[in-house]
Amino acid sequence: MEIKQAYANSPKTYEGYGSRLGVQKGAILDWSDYYFLHHLPLSLKDYNKWPSLPAHCREVIDEYGKEVVKLCGRLMKLLSINLGLAEDVLQNAFGGDNIGACLRVNFYPKCPRPDLTLGLSSHSDPGGMTLLLPDAQVPGLQVRKDNKWITVKPARHAFIVNIGDQIQVLSNAIYKSVEHRVIVNSAKERVSLAFFYNPRSDIPIEPLKELVAPDKPALYKPMTFDEYRLFIRTRGPRGKSQLVESLKSP
């Protein structure tokens, strides 16, 4: 407990170890802890909040972050091309090289009454896209398809790629962010690594001009990711309702 306290997550940058921050008293919490670390921008990164043990931990996380950012850059090009646009349009709308990237390592302990709780309540990821490295042994992630929850089977050596809310906004809802949640179980604990690839946090994000026309009006009003993230963090996970409530065009 003492070591956990020393790395307690910061209410400002969110870096460090803990569970959900900044929610109202009495809010329903999740059956999980997480470690949250910033990879980019460098101004948010504080090694003092990163684990010092094992000795190579920081180095490994840094390298992992670099490689995943490269992969995300490639996926951004594919997503852009699939919208019928030039390959760099989405990345430019994210702020070019000034993107944000962070890692959330989730730990879901065993739960004596898994029927009473969730490891992580239903939500869509607020950022751009998420590369999730799920636990190879223990399933738990579920995605919503219509009104059914489908348990995702982890494939060996594969990431699960989630579209987040910011790509839904930029694509004017051609891409939809995926609603998902995590269930817990009584026999096994579970670990997952969620790497979030986000737009630069202080520029307005709105539907791409190329995708808006008189018969295809912009579905969302401009909002910076900083503003959106604050809105989400104070309210906690609530399915996909937040995107609709915060950003719907008047």
Among 38, 104, 200, 229, binds ligand OGA (CB under 6 A): 104
Residue 194 binds ligand OGA, judged by CB under 6 A? yes
Q: How many residues bind Ni ion (CB under 5 A)?
A: 1
**What is the distance between the alpha carbons of residues 83 and 210, in angstroms, rounded to a whole number?**
10
**What is the distance between the alpha carbons of residues 164 and 233, in angstroms, rounded to a whole number?**
15
Task: Name the burial class of residue 214, with classes exposed (0-12), middle (13-18) and buried (19+) by CB atoms within 10 angstroms of its CB.
Answer: exposed
What is the DSSP code string of 178-232?
Answer: PPEEE---SS--EEEEEEEEE--TTSEE---GGG-BTTB--SB--EEHHHHHHHH
Among 106, 168, 172, 177, binds ligand OGA (CB under 6 A): 106
Contacts of residue 55, defined as CB under 8 A and 6 or more positions apart, other chains included, come to: none
Triad 138, 37, 227: Cα angle to 5°: 110
Residue 30 binds Ni ion, judged by CB under 5 A? no
Residue 180 binds ligand OGA, judged by CB under 6 A? yes
Rounded to a whole number of angstroms, the minimum distance from the CB of residue 180 to ligand OGA is 5
Nearest to ligand OGA of 20, 104 (CB atom): 104
Nearest to ligand OGA of 38, 80 (CB atom): 38
Among 30, 125, 165, 179, binds Ni ion (CB under 5 A): 125
Token pair belonging to 90: 């989405």
Residue 165 binds Ni ion, judged by CB under 5 A? no
Q: Which parts of this chain interact with Ni ion (CB under 5 A)?
A: 125
Q: Which parts of this chain interact with ligand OGA (CB under 6 A)?
A: 104, 106, 120, 125, 132, 134, 140-141, 180, 182, 192, 194
